[in-house]
A and B are shown apart, each in its own frame.
Chain A
């Protein structure tokens, strides 16, 4: 499976109707049991309007487009920065866009920007993914 990469190419996907159930499922699947992500009274006491998603939940959501764009065999680096919270009811738009293609001794190095925005256009995750193909 060879594939050509060009700067500007992108892979996108959308996940709708993020819910409290998603945060509870991610807690159970990942082992991140910080109650701020599923215990509403606790989240409110801490000063939030509601529970919100684990950063790594959103990094996981975004990994679908990373997988589709680069393939897991080739993936060398995946980096995410959590810039804003994900709330119940949000829709998440992931974009993985090729920013550089360079020839190296190891093979072709493909660099991408990873962005997750919500329905208001606010960035919730920014990051990068790198593959050697």
Chain B
């Protein structure tokens, strides 16, 4: 169980923090990320190939916004917890689900900011005992014109007991 009660956690549902600043989509980082996910598409590395495929310039892969976790894009005082003290024991936290909603692709040259809202907190009993606590953190990314580009919703689960016990 988190060190905070569900009532305390519900009290901060709906709160929003600025969590991403100066998130510049850099060409080299996009190429590196595409290699890391083993997608060989030329659109991620070559501007001409991207334009021939109908993109205005090199787009970033659908999950690229994960790179906003690098400390250089974080406002002071914001780290893994995204400014929400949920009282979760990090050693028992797993990433349960991720959802992206897009207004348009992310392009090299975009500079974004992100605002994270604690969207939901709930608990249920795990199948193997112990209470599981779910927190949904939605980050809305906007461009320099203030237009929405994408939202990333991350579901964190504090599991009822030490994770461990995983096996091949």
Which A positions have Cβ atoms within 8 angstroms of B?
Answer: 1, 15, 22, 25-26, 28-32, 46-50, 52, 54-57, 59-61, 63-64, 66-67, 71-73, 75-82, 85, 87
Contacts and interface: CB of A to CB of B under 8 A. Distances in A.
Contacts of B38: 15, 22, 61, 64
Contacts of B36: 22, 25-26, 28-30, 57, 60
15 contacts: A55-B95, A59-B98, A60-B37, A60-B39, A63-B63, A64-B39, A66-B62, A76-B101, A77-B100, A77-B101, A78-B99, A79-B98, A82-B94, A82-B96, A82-B97
B157 to A, nearest CB: 10
Interface centre among A30, A50, A66, A82 (most CB of B within 10 A): A30
Contacts of B66: 30-32, 56
Nearest to A77: B101
Contacts, number: 118
Interface residues of B, number: 39
Contact of B63 (A48, A60, A73): A60
Nearest to B164: A47
Nearest to B157: A82
Contacts of B162: 46-47
A79 B99 contact: yes
- Mostly, the A contact residues are mixed
A47 B166 contact: yes
Contacts of A31: 66-70
B105 A46 contact: no
Interface of B: 29, 32-33, 35-39, 41, 54-55, 59, 61-63, 66-70, 91, 94-102, 104-105, 162-168
Contact of B69 (A26, A32, A48, A82): A32
B168 A63 contact: no
